[in-house]
Homo-oligomer: A and B are copies of this chain.
Amino acid sequence: MRRLVFWFDLASTYSWLSAMRIAPLAEAAGVEVVWRPFLLGPIFRAQGWETSPFNVYPAKGRHMWVDLARQAAKRGLPPPVRPEPFPARSLLACRVATALEGAARADFVRACFGAEFARGADIADPGVLAPLCGDAALAAAETPAVKAALREATGEAMARGIFGAPSFTASSMAGEALWWGDDRLEDALAAA
């Protein structure tokens, strides 16, 4: 079975859109999805940004919320709520996602994005995450091994030329291909 790696940060608005639709689309395409959490923060800092580009560039940020609401409506998702703060401090949630595996990871990611963007919950709050992931995953998230794995994923993303989220990568004999943005999910699945 062909594989597509889905790179996301739990603070990323357009990653929410992809997370909610990638599983059925991938199944229909006969593609296995590898869900890989990473941190946008270090990548944005390397580009000179101390926060989301949607905050750095206000006109772009204002338009993003309009566009996100349109895309969410097209896909039958609830109207997006801007969480406070924005972007969310997603470190703990990305560690939880790293601590989980397989279907449990995908289920948590969808639930976490829903809490954040459909209900405006603060995903930096362990009390918000615990009902979504369980106490064991929350504890595992704080272990050195999980922290190191997330740092490693972020370094790997940067080394692959990833500069935003969601991103998708697929390997073939011809090398590795990268797609950026929820709008390219279909292309990535078709090419995987």
Contact = CB atoms under 8 A, between A and B. Distances in A.
Nearest to A46: B59
Interface of A: 47, 57, 59-60, 62-63, 66-67, 70, 161-164, 178-180, 183-184, 187
19 contacts: A47-B57, A47-B59, A57-B163, A59-B161, A59-B162, A59-B163, A60-B163, A60-B164, A62-B161, A63-B161, A63-B163, A63-B178, A63-B180, A66-B178, A67-B179, A67-B180, A67-B184, A70-B187, A183-B183
Contacts of A67: 179-180, 184
Contacts of A178: 63, 66
A59 B187 CA distance: 20
A60 B48 CA distance: 13
Contacts of A164: 60
Nearest to A61: B163
Nearest to A47: B57
A48 to B, nearest CB: 8
